[in-house]
Structures are given as structure tokens and as C-alpha cells.
Amino acid sequence: MLLPAFGLICVFKLYPILSTLAEGFISKGKLTFSTYIALFHDPTFWGSIWVTVKFNIITIPLQIFIAFCMALLCNVNLRGIGIFRTIAYIPYAVSLTVGVMIWGLMFNYNSGIINSVLRVFGVAAQGFLVDKKQALWCIVVITSWKGCGYWMMFMLAGLKNIDPSVYEAATLDGAKPLQTIIRITLPLMKNVILFVCVANTSANMLLFAPMQLFTQGGPQYSTNVLMYEAYRSAFRYMDRGRSAAIVTVLLLIIVMLAVVQFRWLDEGDKKEGKVA
């Protein structure tokens, strides 16, 4: 019964990955490391790594924190809370392309609503997506708006699985709300948070749609993440070997980050076991 699903995974997942890995080592029908040697001497490649690291260092903690706060708000038993949950999830239901286009209109220098509001308060119009110092921050805002509602649902599911009697006991012991979150909620949700961290990291490391639709890696390579650099190498410069090498490096980075995150959880569980 599992054979059809396994066959589809092999065709559409495993084969493309293995093919990409092999393509980076083959040039003119021969096995060679020249593609990687040239790649590691390319300043554009190292600039893309720095942009990718900077983008993810900002985006991943921000999205996880906002998603956790939203989950706490959605977990409150109030009348009409279902409407708030629906509103919080709507951004994820919107197509990424549509969402990016809408934000692009709002960030427009001449006619965007954000600059129009700023002008009302006497603030000079901002460049946003055409400003080297602001473009990456704008993409952080767009991706956070799009993704936080999705990650919130996992956080909310984790909160629902916590036994309410644990909170009742903490209240009887005089625990304050912040102490309850730090000492009870977060430890009991460690597995959920780990999953969100790994999945969020993979999603953001592979993100390139906002860059492709608006900035094309600019201005001045300020939004040229690794995934977009791989796309540009393959489809603009027709250098599939370089693109495959970049994707391979990106895959290794994602795997290493996932291993680090899993190790962090494992060490945390061992420490808790020793304390117990």
C-alpha cells in the first residue's frame, strides 16, 4: 500500500536531489571539483551566504516569537476567539505571489499607502524595496506576515495538549503568568518548538519568491540570498553546474542547522533527566 507513495517520493524528491548533487561535480561529462573551486572563490557567492545568514538570523526568531505570542492569545477561552484565530490564519491562506504583490504596492515609493501615511505625519518618503538598507527588512516583514499564522497553528496545537491541571497547580503555588510561561509552557512545548524551528529554517532558507518578484537580488545585492543566486545561475546565466553547486551548499547548511537544533533538544532532555 505504501509503494505508490514511496515511488512518487523517489521520482519527485529523491531523484532531483541526487541529480542536483551529481550535476555539481560533472563538467563536460567528466568528474571534477572545478565548479566548487570557482564557486568558493566567487565574492558574489560569499555575499549571498552573508545575506542568507543575516535574513534568517532576523526572520526565524522573530517569526517563532510572534507565532508563540499569537498562539497564547488564541488559546484564551473567550467568546468569539474563533474569529480572531481565523483572522490570524488568513495571511497564510493568501497566495504568496498575491501577498507579495499587495505588499509591493503598499511599499511603492511614489503611490504606496505606507509612504502616503508617513507624508501625512511629516515624515519623508522611504525607499523600502528600492533602498539598499531597507529592502531586506521589508522582505522580513512580508515573510513574517505570511508565515506567522501558519506556525501559530502548530504552537496552538502544542498548547492544547498541555493538561490544564498543570496550570491550576502552578496558580495554587503562586506562580505568576510570566513564570508559568517560562517554567511550564515552554518546557512542555519543546518538541513543538523544535519542529517549528526546523521547518521554519528550511522554509526561509529556500525562500526566493519576494526577491524574484520585486528586488531581483538588489538593490546592490542586498537581498541576493543563496536560493535566488542559484535560480539566477540556472535560468538567467544558464550555468546549471554552478546552480547545482549552490543548491548543494544550501542543502548542507540546512542539514547542519537541523542537526544542531536536534542536538540542542537532546541535550536539554538529558539535563532535565539528570535534574529529575
Reported as a single tens digit per residue, the pLDDT across 22-32 is 887 776 667 67
pLDDT for res 275 = 46
List Cβ neighbours of 251 (8 Å cut-off, separation of 6 or more).
Answer: 17, 21
Q: Which cell goes with 195?
A: 519542529
Inter-CA distances, 217 with 42, 45, 249, Å: 16, 12, 19
What percentage of the chain has pLDDT greater than the value 90?
Answer: 26
Please state at what angle helix 226-235 crosses helix 43-74, rounded to 10 degrees: 130
Q: Alpha helices of 124-163 — where are they, by DSSP H?
A: 135-160
Mean pLDDT of the chain: 86
CATH architecture, range 45-275: Orthogonal Bundle (1.10)
* 155 pLDDT higher than 90: yes
Which residues, in sequence order, are bridge partners of residue 27? 30
CB neighbourhood size of 137 (10 A): 16
pTM for the predicted model, two decimal places: 0.86
CA–CA gap between residue 108 and residue 99 (Å, rounded): 14
Can you give the C-alpha Rg of the chain in angstroms?
A: 22
pLDDT for res 175 = 81
CA–CA gap between residue 55 and residue 50 (Å, rounded): 8
Q: Which cell goes with 201?
A: 529554517
Q: Which cell goes with 266?
A: 537532546
Classified as helix, coil or strand, 30 is strand
Instruction: Classify burial at 205, counting beta carbons within 10 Å of its beta carbon; exposed 0-12, middle 13-18, buried 19 or more.
Output: buried
pLDDT for res 48 = 93
Q: Which cell goes with 6?
A: 514511496
Which residues, in sequence order, are bridge partners of residue 26? 31
- In degrees and rounded to multiples of 5, residue 258 shows phi and psi of -65, -40
Which of 10, 3, 40, 7 is closest to 252 using CA atoms? 40
